[in-house]
Amino acid sequence: MNTTVEVLGFAREPAWLPWAVTYFFLIGISTTAFLLSLPGLVWQRPAWRGISRRALLVALVCGLTGPVALLADLHQPGRFLNFYLHPNLGSWMAWGSFFIPLYMFGLFLYAWLCLRPQLAALGRSGDRFSGLYRTLAYGGHDNPGAIKAAALVGAIGAALLMLYTGMEVMVVQARAMWHSPVVPLLFAVTALSGGLGMTSLFEALSGNQSAAPLLNRWLERSQWAGLLLLMVWLLLGLTGLSSAAAEALSAMQGDFSWWVTGAWLFGSTLLALWLARSRRHALVLPALFALQLAWAVRWTVLMASQSLPKMGATSPRYFLTLTPDGLLGIVGMLGLCLTVYIALTSLVPWDERSDA
Amino acid sequence: MSAHPDLSRRAFFAALPAVTAGLTVSAGAAEASGPHWSMLVDTRRCIACQACTMACAMENASPEGQFRTVVATYAVTGADGQTGLSVLPRLCNHCEQPPCIPVCPVGATYKREDGIVLVDGDRCVGCAYCVQACPYDARFINHHTGKADKCTFCSHRIEAGLLPACVETCVGGARIFGDTNDPQSDISKRLKAADGKVQVLKPEAKTAPRVFYIGLDAHMNGRVNGASAADMMWRPNQQGG
């Protein structure tokens, strides 16, 4: 039997950076949080009313910040113009550049229409910002028909965003771990997990524990779905039914870090599942585990998989450094999320008492 | 003779006396359809000296640590305990079905009629989607420009009637470059002579590469199951020090 040692190998450094993970994470959360806002704000389900308001806040915070990470990934943000000047419509990424503004337009219009009556009420309060609120309210009419129409635009945008982010990754045959129909589904399910987690976290921040049972019920479902998809991918690879998954597993063999990664993904999903089932009234812990699952899946698929060599035997390892395109970028995006959260919650009260 | 350089380095020099005479010869059939550039790498002639790697880096001013072509080098120990050297010169394969082209969101990557796959630097946004899509790890994001970079077959040199820098400098004559549309070109003759023994990298990717190999170890044509000396090394720029 031959043994081979790559004496002189040339491994390319990872080309997609944590910016990509941050974008996929935030935009996934935004789209699913938007969908979570529909039961309470469009279909007027009483049980969802408070949750949907917080979900809308999540959708806005993550929707406003997510595309910033995407722009940062282009090295020079102004380059985004080429997406519109020279679109190649055979590329999923090109379609994404149209789906993002469609979703953003729908989200902002929907949010504004939902908040209008409350903005009008704030405009009548007589404080020093009442003029601004009156302007923003633009009459302040509650128009359920318009809300439904805007929700439809946003929902189409959200669905297309989830579709493109999954397909963009799935179509890349050169990356064995990416080239699987399970990936878009896993992204969608873990985005839901992240959306529920972030909504739970916002509920906890506003001190509203009553939403916990309903959120945890949905969190449990999303964890089951995530677990199922992880197992499907693994089985497809182990049985050889998916040559790409089998190739990915083969490339991981002998690397202890992949065993740790796999154990972490399955273990943390099970733990989140257990928390959501057994601690129905807890918000923070299940939320944090749900968020970490959304992040860990994206990090594993987008970053860790880039360490699997396409050619040769050398693994192009990625080390998270304290640089703008590394840890500083992630922390910076977290700070931006916090800033937008503070700005939005300062502008409009989002708690239960302020329900319009 | 074709007006384009389509010969290996040795044959190129051997053909120089015919250049002036060739100016009076009418264009052949190959010219009517235009050239189709390809490269044949005879790994039996490669001594892994990395002269091609350096020539390319100098010619194309590649940033430090980033290469458009390299020669991956392996120590292979057989069942009999004998250890030998195995090499894999790597570069962009200028595929007939390049997976990097359809994914590019702005159409910056394109294939010329002469078969060369290029990147329009003015249009490229540096999204690195093409880097991900390339099965051969031939692309990278240039640290200086923040845009996609790869081997161009030294298209600027070809247009000036020169051979690619790696071909020009190869001490063993392992790289043969030329026009496969011209049956009289050296590469066409060699490909014909080696019929049945010519390989491409990752044929299962169905990209129809235009870089061909002779003498390539079958288990080297993609991801290699083996240890990597680089993985065992301490890397000061990544691991501190």
pLDDT digits (tens, 9 = 90+) for B49-95: 999 999 999 999 999 999 999 999 999 999 899 999 999 999 999 99
Q: pTM for this one? A: 0.91
| Pairwise CA distance, residues A241 & A238, whole Å | 8
Say what the pLDDT of residue B27 is.
Answer: 44
Say what the pLDDT of residue A2 is.
Answer: 78
Q: How many CB pairs under 8 A join A and B?
A: 181
* Prediction ipTM score: 0.93
Query: With left for phi above 0 and alpha for psi between -120 and 50, is residue A278 left, alpha or beta?
Result: alpha
Task: Return the number of other C-beta atoms located less than 10 Å from residue B82's C-beta.
Answer: 8
Which tokens sit at A329? Answer: 């970028």
Say what the pLDDT of residue B241 is.
Answer: 46
Q: What is the CATH number of domain B30-92+152-220?
A: 3.30.70.20
Write the CA distances from A65 to A36, A338, B216, integer angstroms: 19, 10, 49
Categorize the per-residue pLDDT at B1 as very low, low, confident or very high, splitting at 50, 70 and 90: very low
Asked if B208 and B96 touch (Cβ cutoff 8 Å), the reply is yes
Q: Does A87 touch chain B (CB under 8 A)?
A: yes
| Pairwise CA distance, residues B159 & B108, whole Å | 21
Optimal mutation site among B70, B127, B147, interface A, most CBs of chain A within 10 A = B127
Which tokens sit at A172? Answer: 């890349």
Considering only the beta carbons, identify the residue of A7, A12, A93 that sits closest to B140.
Answer: A12
Q: What are the pLDDT digits (tens) for A248-281?
A: 999 998 889 999 999 999 999 999 999 999 999 9
Query: With left for phi above 0 and alpha for psi between -120 and 50, is residue A184 left, alpha or beta?
Result: alpha
For every residue of B134-190, DSSP letters joined together read: -TT---EE-TTTSSEE---TTHHHHHTT---HHHHH-TT--EEEEETT-TTSHHHHH
CA distance A327 to chain B (A): 14
Q: What is the rounded average pLDDT of the residues A105-124?
A: 94
Q: What is the rounded average pLDDT of the residues A14-26?
A: 96
Interface of B with A in 17-36 (CB under 8 A): none
Say what the pLDDT of residue B63 is.
Answer: 95
- Does residue B148 have a pLDDT over 90? yes
Say what the pLDDT of residue B10 is.
Answer: 53
Say what the pLDDT of residue A350 is.
Answer: 81
Residues of chain B found within 8 Å of residue A308, distances taken between Cβ atoms? 223
- Does residue A38 have a pLDDT over 90? yes
Considering only the beta carbons, identify the residue of A91, A172, A319 that sits closest to B105.
Answer: A91
| Contacts of A353 by beta carbon, 8 Å cutoff, 6+ apart | none
Task: Return the number of other C-beta atoms located less than 10 Å from residue B65's C-beta.
Answer: 11
CA distance A319 to chain B (A): 7
A90 to B137: CB separation less than 8 angstroms, yes or no = no
A5 to B226: CB separation less than 8 angstroms, yes or no = yes
Q: Does B144 touch chain A (CB under 8 A)?
A: no
- Does residue B236 have a pLDDT over 70? no
Average pLDDT taken over every residue of chain A: 94
Query: Which of the two residues, B99 and B32, has the higher pLDDT score?
Result: B99
- Does residue A198 have a pLDDT over 80? yes
Which tokens sit at B87? Answer: 């090499």
Say what the pLDDT of residue B18 is.
Answer: 46
Say what the pLDDT of residue A349 is.
Answer: 83
Considering only the beta carbons, identify the residue of A8, A15, A91 that sits closest to B72.
Answer: A8
CA distance A290 to chain B (A): 28
Q: Does B237 touch chain A (CB under 8 A)?
A: no
Secondary structure of residue A335 in the 3-state scheme: helix
Considering only the beta carbons, identify the residue of B72, B104, B123 that sits closest to A91.
Answer: B104
The residue ranges of every structural domain in chain A are 15-171+319-356, 174-314
Residue type, A294: A
Least confident of A301-315, A330-344, B2-16, B210-224: B2-16
Say what the pLDDT of residue B3 is.
Answer: 45
Q: What are the pLDDT digits (tens) for A133-179?
A: 999 999 888 899 999 999 999 999 999 999 999 999 999 999 999 99
Query: Which of the two residues, A185 and B3, has the higher pLDDT score?
Result: A185
Say what the pLDDT of residue B58 is.
Answer: 97
Categorize the per-residue pLDDT at A247 as very low, low, confident or very high, splitting at 50, 70 and 90: very high
Write the CA distances from B77 to A4, A58, B213, B216, B231, integer angstroms: 6, 58, 22, 16, 19
| Pairwise CA distance, residues A38 & A58, whole Å | 13
A5 to B201: CB separation less than 8 angstroms, yes or no = no
Which tokens sit at A102? Answer: 């469609």
Asked if B186 and B72 touch (Cβ cutoff 8 Å), the reply is no
Residue recorded with tokens 């998809």:
A229
- Does residue B127 have a pLDDT over 50? yes
Residues of chain A found within 8 Å of residue B73, distances taken between Cβ atoms? 6-9
Categorize the per-residue pLDDT at A127 as very low, low, confident or very high, splitting at 50, 70 and 90: confident
B125 to A313: CB separation less than 8 angstroms, yes or no = no
